Every structure is written in C-alpha cells, then in structure tokens.
Chain A
Amino acid sequence: MTVATVTRSEFTKFFSTSLWWVLGLVLVLYIAFTAAALAFAIGAVGSGMLPGEGAPVPTEGVAPVLYSLAASVGYVIPLILGTLMVTSEFRHKTLTATFLATPRRGTVLWAKIVAGIVVGVGFGVVGALSSVGPAAGLLAAFGVETDLGVGSTWALIARVVLALTIWVVVGIGVGSLVRNQVAAVVGVLVFTQFLEPIARAAGAFVSGLDTVTNYLPGAASDALVGASIFQMAGAGTSTSGLEWWAGGAVLLAYAAVLLVLGYALNWRRDVS
C-alpha cells in the first residue's frame, strides 16, 4: 500500500478506459491542424504566394511561436485530463472502492499526482511533436527557417512538455476541489476559453492591469514556455512580464494551492 503500488493502480485505471486515447487523439489533431494551418499561412504569405496585408509578415522567429502551440492552445487538454482523473471517481462512485483498497487518502492523492506527471510528460511529448512536426515541415517547404538547429528551440520544446505536465497536476487539483465532474469541466472550459483570454486581452491595453493578468495560469504557462501565439496576435505589444522560471513557479503554485484546498476541503470528507 505504498505510493508505488497505488500509482500502478492509477495507471491501470487510466489506461483501462478510452479517455486517454480519445483525449490524446483530440490533442494531436487539434494541435497538428492548428500548427499546419498557421505554418502554411505564414509560409505562404512570407514567400509571396499569398497576398499579405499591411506590414510584411516577419518570418524570422516565427518557428518557436508555432512550436509553442501545444502549450498556448492545447493546454486545456491535459488540464481536463487531470480533472477527469479525479472527478470520474466521484461521478462513477469508484472512490469507495479506491478508499477501501487504500484507506490512507493522502497516498491516493499522491499516487494520482505521480501518475498524472508521467502521463503529462507523455501528453507533453505527443503534443509537442504534433506542433513541431507539421510546422517545421511546412516552414521548410516554404524556405522559412525552422530553427531546429538552435539549442534554444529545443529548450523551448522541453518547456512545452514541462508546462503540459504541470497542467495535468493543476487539473488534479481542480478535480479534487470540484468533485462534480460536469461543474469542473464546464468551469475549466469557461475559465480557460473565455474568462482568462478576455482578462489577458484587456491587460494588453489597460495600463497596469497586466501586473495582475500576468499571474493568471494561462499567462504563467505562456511565460514558462517563453513564446505564445497570443503574443503575435496581440498586436505584438504584449510581452509576457514573467521570466520563464517565474511562470513555471506560478503555475506550480496554482497546482499546489488547488491540491491543498482540495485535500483539506474535499478529499478527507465522508464518502457515502
């Protein structure tokens, strides 16, 4: 009944339903399509194949932004994955059996975190490949620099994997705090797809607001990765205020706070 054996049990839970490959497939298709479409547009305009509008599109330094898509656009997938790892136990009432097998509840939560980290690395690598593969291929076809020979590019790709991994743990925190699966998933989608983008967009042109919005989880994640499609889209003015390590620390802090709150308020409650 150590964290190791319980972690194995969590892996079996994870891989014995179709959730992992359905979400994995969504991640791959979503990221690959987005990366390919943007790489094609940038490459085509840059090479004069398509008419550009306004200022010429800078093709220099565009590759890392495309490679970062897995994190800046796709982070919601590992976030939901982590959330479901916990809420499905509430939804299907399997928590009873889980706690019967492992009455030390902290051990169960730790096992979920460890399993979530391993799964998160897997999703991170797959997500990164889904953005780097099509983007690098298309950029090369248009003769745009892929930057794949540069060490900093690979460091960025590694930080994409790291960010996606932390997002799984953030999701586990959300799930442990919000036990209702529908509420948790809807909450995650509303926050990540609606509230935070609006807040960050406002922060881009309201003076002083960015000191707050820089600490939002999505912004922290972009800071950790060091590049984001939103920088390019956001009139090119909004630079992430945080250093990459500070972004990572903020994202980890979100995970830690959610987990501590979830454990204290929810995880130790009566299971009936």
Chain B
Amino acid sequence: MPDGQVLEFAGLTKRFGTISAVADLTCSIQPGRITAFLGPNGAGKTTTLRMLLGLIRPTSGSATIGGRRYDELAHPLHTVGAVLEATGFHPGRTGAAHLAVYAQAAGIARSRVDEVLELVGLTHAAGRKVGGYSLGMRQRLGVAFALLGDPGVLVLDEPTNGLDPEGIRWMRSFLRTLAAEGRTILVSSHLLAEVQQTVDAALIISGGRLVFEGSLADLAYQEVPVTLVDAPDRGALVAALEGSAVPLEHLRTGIQVQGLDAASVGAIAASAGVALSALTDRGPALEEIFLEYVNGIRPPLLLTDDRRRPTPADAGEEPAAETVTDPDTAITSSADGMGEPADSREPVEPDMQPEARADEEGANR
C-alpha cells in the first residue's frame, strides 16, 4: 500500500530578481484525497510545485514531503511521483527505454517498467520511439514515469493540458482511483471547471499568494443558490415567483431565480398550480467565485486555527468524502473542510457538466 504523506509549505517564497513569483505560501495538503492547486497562468503554481520537487531553490521558506525536503528523501521516486509540464523525452528513445533509464537510477526493477506501461495503456507502444508519440501518449508516458516507484504522493502540473476529451476522462478516473488508494494527490490547473468534478479540496493562488484554502464546499459556502425554471405559461410562473420578492432574470431557456433553490421554486409553482416544463438547480457559479478570489474581489479565505484540520489518519480511513451518504457525516465533513457534502454536489452536476466541457475545449484550442 503506498504511503500517502502530508505536503507542507511553510512561508515558501521565490523571487526572480525583483519579481515575486511565490510569496510566503503556507498550507498543507492531506493524503487520501485530490487537492486542486488553482490559479491563472503565471500565478506561481509551477514554481511552487518545482520548489516542492527540489528543481527550483526557494528564496526562503520550505516545502516538505512528510517532513522532508525532496533532496533529503531516501527514495524520491518511491515517495513522490511527478507529472510536470516541461518534463521532456528524448525523441530518439523508446518509451520503455525512457522509463528504464529512471527505473535504474532509482533502483526500481525492470519489470516495473512493463507494469506501469500496462497501467497507462501504452504496452503496444513500448518499443516505439517517443518522437512518434501523440501528445496524449506522451502525457500517459509522463504518468507512467510518475508511477514507477508506486509513490504515495502524486504531483501533477496541468495534467489535462492538450488532452482530448477521452484523455481527460481517463486522467480523471485514474486520479480518482489513485486517491482512493490513500495517496496524496496535488493537481494544478488554471481552470476550476476542469477539475471541479474530480477534486475534494482546493488551494487558489493568485500573484504568488494563497487566497483560498479549503474544500470545494467551502468555496461555495453560503452562496446564493441559482435556479433555472420554465413553464409553458411563463406569465403565471412569474406572477407566482414575484410573491417571494427575489431577483428574476428572463432568459431564452427560462427564468433564472436568485436566492431560491430548486425545491423552493418547485413548491411555489406547485402551490400556485403552475405546471413546470423545466426546473434546474444551477448551483453556485464556482468559476465566478474562483475568479473573484483570484482578482481579490473576495478577501482571502484561509484555514485558521479555529477550523479543525483533519488529521492524515482520518483522511486515510475515509478516502472519498463524497461517497459518504449519511447526512450527519456529510455535514461534519463539510464543516471540517474535508470534502463536499453529497447533497450539494449531486444536483450541480447535470448542468455543470456541459459548461465544463465547453471550457475544456476552449482551453485545448
């Protein structure tokens, strides 16, 4: 069983000349779940991850894995697997040879190379030169490299960049499986929509500073619900809704109601005897909240001492917070910042998914 470790950033700072790429970053990442590391391009995500991996030297502060700096790890590839954007491949080397090089350096058996190639579905291309690989195959080879030592910690920098929808789906389910095995997974992205279906917790960084730390449920905590509703008789529907004195917005697809969830809107319509043709909970607009944190419109929301942090052991026992069905547990985990409660997530998905797809396609272009 891989040993998930806690990742800890303490006052991590990196300055390039006068430019401050990462400024006093302090937070920790727990095992057994997927943590998103979010921020716009140039926010300092890659620099932070590379400092964690000993590739970039911090100006001050520290980044540790289970309490140790990367270069202090006795078996780095057995402890941390990394998929980094600028990790290269020699185009003239075969996929299998590429992995064999690093397996040898880390003292990993040659048989493991075939295993990881199998895991990422590259067995058929093992003997081909990487120069002939597609982008998706290279990304899979990068994941295979990260898995060589069966590490308890996985760090992925924009892993879905350049992947086609099938590749993105593969990556998501793969990360889910790995997190469920108790690993610590930190995945960076500049798009919340891209990871919001996969991740349990989020860190948002902007201009090198941490502006949000918590679960996705925390991100949308106390957000005004938005509901889209439509009826063949719109006039009657509007008349019924106006009684509740909430803002209404007339859209082509229906009426957008702010401040009422789908259940309340449905109840109002039912009591007014209006037959509905559509009723959708739009959920909180996570992407907008994310951008508001990034742009500083919202004050930073960081974990403070009054909010009990989950211990690694807790997280290990309950790897997937959103599979919890007991309402009490779900509420507790939400308050802890453990994960999102199941009931807030379910209705969001049907409507969020198409949007997420659209964003991904936009990003891939």
Residues of chain A having any CB pair with chain B under 8 Å: 1, 5-6, 8-9, 12-13, 16-19, 88, 92-94, 96-104, 270-272
B50, B55, B71: residue with the most chain A Cβ atoms closer than 10 Å: B55
Q: From A14, which residue of chain B is reached at the shortest CB distance? A: B101
Q: From A99, which residue of chain B is reached at the shortest CB distance? A: B55
Q: From B50, which residue of chain A is reached at the shortest CB distance? A: A272
In the complex, A105→B107 CA distance in Å?
17
| Contact among B70, B86, B92, B100 for A17, CB-based, below 8 A | B92
Q: How many Å from the CB of B99 to the closest CB on chain A?
A: 10
B102 proximal to A (CB < 8 A): yes
In the complex, A13→B88 CA distance in Å?
13
Residue contact A5 to B47, C-beta cutoff 8 Å: no
What does the 1/0 interface line of B237-270 toward A look like (CB < 8 Å)? 0000000000000000000000000000000000
Chain B 271-304 interface residues, beta-carbon cutoff 8 Å to A = none
Residue contact A103 to B73, C-beta cutoff 8 Å: yes
B180 proximal to A (CB < 8 A): no
Residue contact B50 to A92, C-beta cutoff 8 Å: no
Residues of B within 8 A of A104 (CB): 71
| Contact among A1, A5, A96 for B86, CB-based, below 8 A | A96
Residue contact A12 to B87, C-beta cutoff 8 Å: no
Residue contact B92 to A18, C-beta cutoff 8 Å: yes
Q: How many Å from the CB of A68 to the closest CB on chain B?
A: 33
In the complex, A96→B55 CA distance in Å?
7
B84 proximal to A (CB < 8 A): yes
Q: A99-B55, A100-B76, A270-B50 are in contact. Are A94 and B89 (CB under 8 A)?
A: yes
What does the 1/0 interface line of B88-105 toward A look like (CB < 8 Å)? 111111100110111011
In the complex, A103→B73 CA distance in Å?
9
Residue contact A8 to B46, C-beta cutoff 8 Å: no
Residue contact A103 to B104, C-beta cutoff 8 Å: no
Residue contact B86 to A101, C-beta cutoff 8 Å: no
Residue contact B104 to A94, C-beta cutoff 8 Å: no
Residue contact A93 to B76, C-beta cutoff 8 Å: no
Residues of A within 8 A of B93 (CB): 13, 16-17
Chain B 44-62 interface residues, beta-carbon cutoff 8 Å to A = 46-47, 50, 53-57
Q: A92-B89, A97-B145 are in contact. Are A12 and B101 (CB under 8 A)?
A: yes
Chain B 146-174 interface residues, beta-carbon cutoff 8 Å to A = none
Residues of A within 8 A of B106 (CB): 1, 5, 101-102
Other than A1-B107, A16-B100, give 20 A-B pairs with Cβ distance below 8 A. A1-B106, A6-B105, A12-B100, A12-B101, A12-B104, A13-B90, A13-B93, A13-B101, A16-B90, A16-B98, A94-B90, A96-B55, A100-B80, A100-B82, A100-B102, A101-B105, A101-B106, A102-B106, A270-B56, A271-B56
Residues of B within 8 A of A271 (CB): 50, 55-56
Residues of B within 8 A of A93 (CB): 86-88
Query: Top 8 closest A-B pairs, CB basis?
Result: A93-B88, A9-B105, A16-B97, A103-B71, A101-B105, A9-B104, A17-B92, A270-B56
Residue contact A98 to B84, C-beta cutoff 8 Å: no
B77 proximal to A (CB < 8 A): yes
Residue contact A272 to B105, C-beta cutoff 8 Å: no
In the complex, A92→B129 CA distance in Å?
14
Residue contact B56 to A97, C-beta cutoff 8 Å: no
In the complex, A164→B56 CA distance in Å?
36
B345 proximal to A (CB < 8 A): no
Of the A-B pairs whose beta carbons lie under 8 Å apart in the complex, a sample of 29, sorted by A's number, is A5-B104, A5-B106, A6-B105, A9-B102, A9-B104, A16-B90, A16-B94, A16-B97, A17-B93, A88-B90, A92-B89, A92-B91, A93-B87, A97-B102, A98-B102, A100-B76, A100-B77, A101-B102, A102-B76, A102-B105, A103-B70, A103-B71, A103-B73, A104-B71, A270-B55, A272-B46, A272-B50, A272-B55, A272-B56
Residues of A within 8 A of B80 (CB): 100
Residue contact A96 to B88, C-beta cutoff 8 Å: yes
Q: From B82, which residue of chain A is reached at the shortest CB distance? A: A100
Q: How many Å from the CB of A10 to the closest CB on chain B?
A: 8
B357 proximal to A (CB < 8 A): no
Residue contact B76 to A101, C-beta cutoff 8 Å: yes
B75 proximal to A (CB < 8 A): yes
In the complex, A11→B107 CA distance in Å?
14
Residues of B within 8 A of A102 (CB): 76, 105-106
Q: A92-B89, A101-B106 are in contact. Are A272 and B101 (CB under 8 A)?
A: no
In the complex, A33→B201 CA distance in Å?
67
Q: How many Å from the CB of B229 to the closest CB on chain A?
A: 50
Residues of B within 8 A of A96 (CB): 55, 84, 86-88
Residue contact B75 to A1, C-beta cutoff 8 Å: yes
